[in-house]
Amino acid sequence: MSARLSGTLNCVRRSTAVRSTSSTTALRSNSQTWRRWQSISQRPGSDRVHFPGAVNSRFTTSLNFQGTSADSAMPTYRILDQDGIVVDRNRAPLDVTDDQALRWYKDMLTVSIMDNIMFEAQRQGRLSFYMVSAGEEGIAVGSAAALLPDDVIFAQYRETGVFQTRGFTLDDFMSQLFANKHDSGRARNMPVHYGSRKLNIHTISSPLATQIPQAAGAAYALKMQDAGNPDRPLDKRRVVACYFGEGAASEGDFHGALNIAATRSCPVIFICRNNGYAISTSTLEQYRGDGIASRGIGYGIDTIRVDGNDIFAVREATARAREMALRDGGKPVLIEAMSYRVSHHSTSDDSYAYRAKVEVEDWKRRDNPITRLRKWMENKGVWDEAKEQEARSRIRKEVLGAFAKAEKEKRPPLRAMFEDVYAEMTEEAEGQVQQLKDVLKRYPNEYDLGDYDGGLDGLEKKPR
Amino acid sequence: MTARCSRSLQCLSIFARSTKSKVAPHRTYSSAAPANARLNLPVDFSSTPILHQSSKSILANPELPESVRKNSKTTRTNLFQAVNSALRHALSTDDRVLLFGEDVAFGGVFRCSMNLSTDFGSERVFNTPLCEQAIVGFAIGCAAEGMKPVAEIQFADYVYPAFDQLVNEAAKMRYRAGGTGMDCGGMVVRMPTGSVGHGALYHSQSPESLFTHIPGLRVIIPRSPSQAKGLLLAAIASPDPVIFMEPKVLYRAAVEQVPNDPYTLPLDKADILKTGQDITVISYGTPLYHCSNAIEAAEKDFGVSCELIDLRTIYPWDRKTVLESVSKTGRAIVVHESMVNAGVGAEVAATIQEGAFLRLEAPVQRVCGWSTHMGMAYEKFNIPDVVRIYDSIRKVAHY
């Protein structure tokens, strides 16, 4: 924290010093604006007029409405086929070491095994809620692997692999899921709403798409700070990655975010997980355009569609997007990663109420990011059934160990219910703490305080 | 245009000479006070005691830092200039401060950001696309990564598209992030608010009570240029997200002496504008001027003594100052422009009932906008004017 602060102060001082530079940039972008405005008139004989709203549009005399067609859908970038074989034999060799592949594989496997255990735990009533990432582990792990630790992340909720890859520990996951006193979110959020300042991932919130314009703003902040810090080399400058599903992309915040990110030239990578469903709503009821990718172009944002079941393709696209996002003073990039939501939407959902089980089984069996990478590793001879069994049982043991530990821990002190609403607790809140304390004292049999650290005393103000 | 104007002026003057004239009178969109009005007269901003008419008066304010009171020069400043001066100070002393919103770059539709883009660069003071939810979401993200964004919503009436971002995100960010220490405390959302004479449905609203229901947000409404400067600088310095509502009818009308030096005013203190013994009148923003006029007339007519309190910080609010006052006077009136139903007055009245029950000698009165919308032609019947406040004082005094 103090390092961050001094970094900020540094940048503050420096950017005062380099104001002349930044005002040069300002002038440049101003003159671009002026170019749009100065040449409104039509030159004699020109085949186009410079309307300020579309500066280089040719006239046409044929009355054609431009439309979309299924045939012209944006292609999907892939490296591996379903058997884990590199499709383009002429491409440059993959810049992936065996160690990297093994690490990503284990990250995906960990998420998948934890998902199964926690889903069952919820079914047993030991957890209030859970959401698995089945089928989408490759998008989360592959993209996170392409980012630097200083890059800031905003997630939706189905990106457990991002946390895993960044270094969130099994204890961190379990503390949050069980809302115990070690949860960095202080037991205030529903399960799966992880967050970590240390790992530069903002705490997940339930309202969909709200994180998208926030990511644009955060990217603008990073751009300003890095611009004021000339010691930071270009490739070490920071970007923001922002994840959301194709359903969330229907929210107004998606529109506002992409537009403002483009107009303010924010170094942000928008990563859409298009998994075919938003709870029960299929994409046919979600949109009629060519997915989410086609919209990026409309906002003036460079866009790619990738095979989300191909972790190498996701990683390579994200790495390239990261470079592009930092180029030319910064700009947003959109990645639409295609996948299939193999699981139910959440533990509160039975997806067989709106889709055929056979469809799900098909995806599970035929194509899946984990098996695809496994096949690639097996083809290379760095993985086999024995290693698979060993890894699975070890990870399972580790997850269950963290599970058992976290489940036993107490919840935070009750005072945490009132703290952090404001930086300092208000006089009103202090009064309400006393009112609650009074009730708890006079009706001791009506409340179980044993779960909470310190019991009734946990309401007292402690030096933090 | 000129010809048309002079002709209409001419016919107005004909009309003024003789009401029996055959020439059809032109009706202007706003009318002056009726000839016999004694209470509902336009506010005389050049004499109202709400404003500091002299430099001596503002520098006597004990809330100002010692150095400002002793050394600062003052300048006659209107509210938009005071906002501009606060923003200029914030931008020049802290490079983390950013200013953005719709049409902010050329100076803003109310001139609050005049010359700031030119002086601080288009990277720090800039226009955004026309999208309120994006503006506030963008501000939250900036603040979450250590900047101090001051976002502008062009009219408070248009803040609703950003309501989700304010309520679910800005207000809850610190709470949900818990021990991770992430928050968006650096952000301020400014918005012009309140009636303006002819703003009708969507240029008149006072939605502050919608925000006072949201723990995590601070809601501030200044009454004057000197207050606007001190409170806005405090809002920018605050570690909590702040909704800063500027009464737009005062942008040009309210002019007073404002210290040239920077200063902050407390974000958790009400301000007793006038002391009194019999009745406490509690208000904030523009209606304070009407309260002041009503109190002056009522004190003369009924021989009562009124205490006038400016809440300033609408949430969290200074309950202590209000309760102490009502415990002394035993009578309370709450005045605000927004609708009476579930308005700020309801919270203040309920708190008074709870905290000063044994001292109350009359029911707490609420003089507020009616529970209707601000229809164009009806504004003067909708806002709490001098007559309605005066009449409320009469009722409370004689209860």
At A180-221, the pLDDT tens digits run 999 999 999 999 999 999 999 999 999 999 999 999 999 999
Residue A225 makes CB contacts below 8 A (sequence gap 6+) with A7, A8, A11, B145, B146, B147
Domain count, chain A: 2
| Beta carbons within 10 angstroms of residue B240's beta carbon | 24
Nearest alpha carbon to residue B187 among B84, B99, B124, B108 = B99
| Predicted local confidence at residue B33, as pLDDT | 86
The verdict on B250 and B287 lying in the same domain is no
| Annotated active-site residue in A23, A29, A206, A348 | A206
The verdict on B122 and B179 lying in the same domain is yes
d(CA B145, CA B133): 19
- CB–CB contact A197 B319 (8 Å): no
The verdict on A95 and A230 lying in the same domain is yes
The verdict on B255 and B363 lying in the same domain is no
Is there a contact between A459 and A433 (Cβ–Cβ < 8 Å)? yes
- CB–CB contact A210 B94 (8 Å): no
Identify the DSSP state of A331. Answer: -
Q: Within a domain: residue A116?
A: yes
Which H helix or E strand runs over B124? none
A125 touches chain B (CB under 8 A): no
Beta strands in A1-112 (DSSP E): 76-77
| Predicted local confidence at residue A129, as pLDDT | 95
B213 touches chain A (CB under 8 A): no
Identify the DSSP state of A355. Answer: S
Residues 52-111 of B with CB under 8 A from A: 94-96, 98
- CB–CB contact B215 A421 (8 Å): yes
Using the 3D structure, point to which of B225, B259, B293 is the last residue of a domain. B259
d(CA A377, CA A267): 34
Q: Within a domain: residue B6?
A: no
Pairing of strands B313-315, B218-220: antiparallel
DSSP A284-317: HHH-SSSTTHHHHHHTT-EEEEEETT-HHHHHHH
Q: Looking at chain A, which residue has its C-alpha nearest residue B179?
A: A184
The verdict on B221 and B308 lying in the same domain is no
Using the 3D structure, point to which of B224, B259, B294 is the last residue of a domain. B259
Judged by DSSP in three states, A24 sits in helix
A103-123: b (≥16 Cβ within 10 Å) or e:
ebbebbbbbbbbbebbbebbe
Check pLDDT > 90 for residue A44.
no
The verdict on B208 and B279 lying in the same domain is no
Check pLDDT > 90 for residue A29.
no
Q: Looking at chain A, which residue has its C-alpha nearest residue B166?
A: A210
Which H helix or E strand runs over B147? none
A229 touches chain B (CB under 8 A): no
Residue A107: phi, psi to the nearest 5?
A: -60, -45
Query: Chain-wide mean pLDDT for chain A?
Result: 89
d(CA A424, CA B145): 20
Q: What is the CATH number of the domain that holds B61?
A: 3.40.50.970
B129 touches chain A (CB under 8 A): yes
* Containing structural domain, residue A429: 414-459
Nearest alpha carbon to residue B142 among A245, A240, A262, A332 = A240
**Distance between A261 CA and the closest CA of chain B, angstroms:** 9
Residues on chain A touching B94 (C-beta within 8 angstroms): 12
- Picking from A202, A254, A417, A427 by the largest number of B CB atoms within 10 A of its own CB, the best residue to mutate is A202
Q: Within a domain: residue A252?
A: yes
| Predicted local confidence at residue B87, as pLDDT | 98
**Distance between B263 CA and the closest CA of chain A, angstroms:** 21
Is there a contact between A154 and A166 (Cβ–Cβ < 8 Å)? no
Residue B93 makes CB contacts below 8 A (sequence gap 6+) with B262
What region, left, alpha or beta, does residue B357 occupy, with left being phi > 0 and alpha being psi -120 to 50 degrees?
Answer: alpha
Residue A115 makes CB contacts below 8 A (sequence gap 6+) with A130, A132, A133, A134, A160, A343
Task: Give the tens place of pLDDT for each residue, A375-426.
Answer: 999 999 999 999 999 999 999 999 999 999 999 999 999 999 999 999 999 9
Residues on chain B touching A421 (C-beta within 8 angstroms): 174-175, 215-216
B246 touches chain A (CB under 8 A): no
**Distance between B67 CA and the closest CA of chain A, angstroms:** 26
Nearest alpha carbon to residue B84 among B221, B301, B205, B252 = B252
d(CA A67, CA A75): 17
Pairing of strands B148-152, B188-193: parallel
The verdict on B218 and B304 lying in the same domain is no
- For the sheet with A302-307, list strands across it: A76-77, A302-307, A333-338, A268-274, A240-245, A152-154
**Distance between A186 CA and the closest CA of chain B, angstroms:** 5
DSSP B26-41: P--SS-PPPTT-SSSP
| Predicted local confidence at residue A41, as pLDDT | 60
The verdict on A398 and A423 lying in the same domain is no
- For the sheet with B306-310, list strands across it: B271-274, B306-310, B279-283, B332-339, B365-369
- CB–CB contact B131 A259 (8 Å): yes
Q: Within a domain: residue A48?
A: no
**Distance between A246 CA and the closest CA of chain B, angstroms:** 19
Residue B359 makes CB contacts below 8 A (sequence gap 6+) with B326, B327, B330
Residues 21-50 of A with CB under 8 A from B: 22-23, 25-26, 29-30
pTM of the model: 0.92
DSSP A335-347: EEEE----S-SST
Residues 243-282 of A with CB under 8 A from B: 252-253, 255-257, 259-260, 263-264
Residue B43: phi, psi to the nearest 5?
A: -65, 130
Residues 341-380 of B with CB under 8 A from A: none
Residues 372-431 of A with CB under 8 A from B: 416, 420-423, 426-428
The verdict on A323 and A432 lying in the same domain is no
**Intra-chain end-to-end CA distance of chain A, in Å:** 16
List the beta bridge partners of residue B306: B279
Q: Tell me the catalytic residues of B.
A: 132, 203
The verdict on A87 and A229 lying in the same domain is yes
Domain count, chain B: 2
Using the 3D structure, point to which of B259, B281, B313 is the last residue of a domain. B259
Task: Give the tens place of pLDDT for each residue, A137-175.
Answer: 999 999 999 999 999 999 999 999 999 999 999 999 999
**Distance between B76 CA and the closest CA of chain A, angstroms:** 31
The verdict on A398 and A446 lying in the same domain is no
Residue B151: phi, psi to the nearest 5?
A: -95, 145
The verdict on B217 and B311 lying in the same domain is no
A2 touches chain B (CB under 8 A): no
- CB–CB contact B175 A421 (8 Å): yes
Higher pLDDT, A7 or A445: A445
Task: Give the tens place of pLDDT for each residue, A251-308.
Answer: 999 999 999 999 999 999 999 999 999 998 999 999 999 999 999 999 999 999 999 9
- CB–CB contact A205 B135 (8 Å): no
| Beta carbons within 10 angstroms of residue B297's beta carbon | 18
Q: Within a domain: residue A292?
A: yes
The verdict on B245 and B342 lying in the same domain is no
- Please confirm, yes or no, whether A345 is among the known catalytic residues: yes
The verdict on A280 and A382 lying in the same domain is yes
The verdict on A422 and A379 lying in the same domain is no
The verdict on B181 and B284 lying in the same domain is no
Residue B67: phi, psi to the nearest 5?
A: -65, -40
Q: Within a domain: residue A21?
A: no
Longest dimension (CA), chain B: 78
**Distance between B230 CA and the closest CA of chain A, angstroms:** 20
Q: What is the CATH number of the domain that holds A404?
A: 3.40.50.970
DSSP B78-89: EHHHHHHHHHHH
The verdict on A179 and A211 lying in the same domain is yes
Identify the DSSP state of A5. Answer: H
Which residue type, as a one-letter code, is found at position B8?
S
| Predicted local confidence at residue A265, as pLDDT | 98
**Distance between B265 CA and the closest CA of chain A, angstroms:** 17
Half-sphere CA count of B345, side-chain side, radius 13 A: 24
Residues on chain B touching A207 (C-beta within 8 angstroms): 164, 168-169
Q: Within a domain: residue A211?
A: yes
Q: Give residue for tokens 């003789």.
A: B18
A8 touches chain B (CB under 8 A): yes
Q: Which residues of chain B have pLDDT under 70?
A: 1-23
- CB–CB contact B169 A421 (8 Å): no
Q: Within a domain: residue B31?
A: no
Q: Give residue for tokens 């990683």.
A: A315
Comparing CB atoms, the residue among A197, A210, A220 nearest residue B181 is A197
List the beta bridge partners of residue B100: B126, B151
The verdict on A352 and A436 lying in the same domain is no
Check pLDDT > 60 for residue A26.
no
- CB–CB contact B316 A217 (8 Å): no
- Picking from B132, B133, B240 by the largest number of A CB atoms within 10 A of its own CB, the best residue to mutate is B133
The verdict on B186 and B78 lying in the same domain is yes
Comparing CB atoms, the residue among A22, A210, A222 nearest residue B164 is A210
Q: What is the CATH number of the domain that holds B316?
A: 3.40.50.920
The verdict on A158 and A299 lying in the same domain is yes
Q: Looking at chain B, which residue has its C-alpha nearest residue A14?
A: B95
Among positive and negative, which fits the CA dihedral A178, A180, A185, A187? positive
* Containing structural domain, residue B241: 55-259
A1 touches chain B (CB under 8 A): yes
Cis peptide bond N-terminal to B316, omega within 30: yes
- Picking from B94, B138, B168, B217 by the largest number of A CB atoms within 10 A of its own CB, the best residue to mutate is B138
Q: Within a domain: residue B12?
A: no
B220 touches chain A (CB under 8 A): no
A191 alpha carbon, distance to own chain's centre: 16
Q: Within a domain: residue B245?
A: yes
Which residue type, as a one-letter code, is found at position A7?
G
The verdict on A395 and A441 lying in the same domain is no
Comparing CB atoms, the residue among A152, A193, A420 nearest residue B174 is A420
Q: Within a domain: residue B21?
A: no
Pairing of strands A240-245, A152-154: parallel
Q: Is A355 exposed, middle or buried (0-12, 13-18, 19+ CB in 10 A)?
A: middle
The verdict on B109 and B207 lying in the same domain is yes
- CB–CB contact B240 A422 (8 Å): yes
Half-sphere CA count of B60, side-chain side, radius 13 A: 7
**Distance between B289 CA and the closest CA of chain A, angstroms:** 29
| Predicted local confidence at residue A342, as pLDDT | 87
The verdict on B197 and B244 lying in the same domain is yes
Q: Which two tokens stand for residue A279?
A: 């709870």
d(CA A125, CA A129): 9
- CB–CB contact A421 B131 (8 Å): no
Q: Which two tokens stand for residue B374?
A: 């601000």
Residues 135-164 of A with CB under 8 A from B: 152, 154
List the beta bridge partners of residue B315: B219
Instruction: Locate all alpha helices (DSSP H) within A292-443, ordered by sequence.
Output: 293-298, 311-326, 357-366, 369-380, 385-408, 427-442
Nearest alpha carbon to residue B191 among B262, B136, B148, B143 = B136
CA distances (Å), B277 to each of B307, B334, B353, B391, in order? 7, 16, 19, 18
Among positive and negative, which fits the CA dihedral A25, A31, A37, A41? negative
**Interface contacts (A, B; CB < 8 Å):** 192
Using the 3D structure, point to which of A408, A427, A444 is the last residue of a domain. A408
B216 touches chain A (CB under 8 A): yes
The verdict on A264 and A381 lying in the same domain is yes
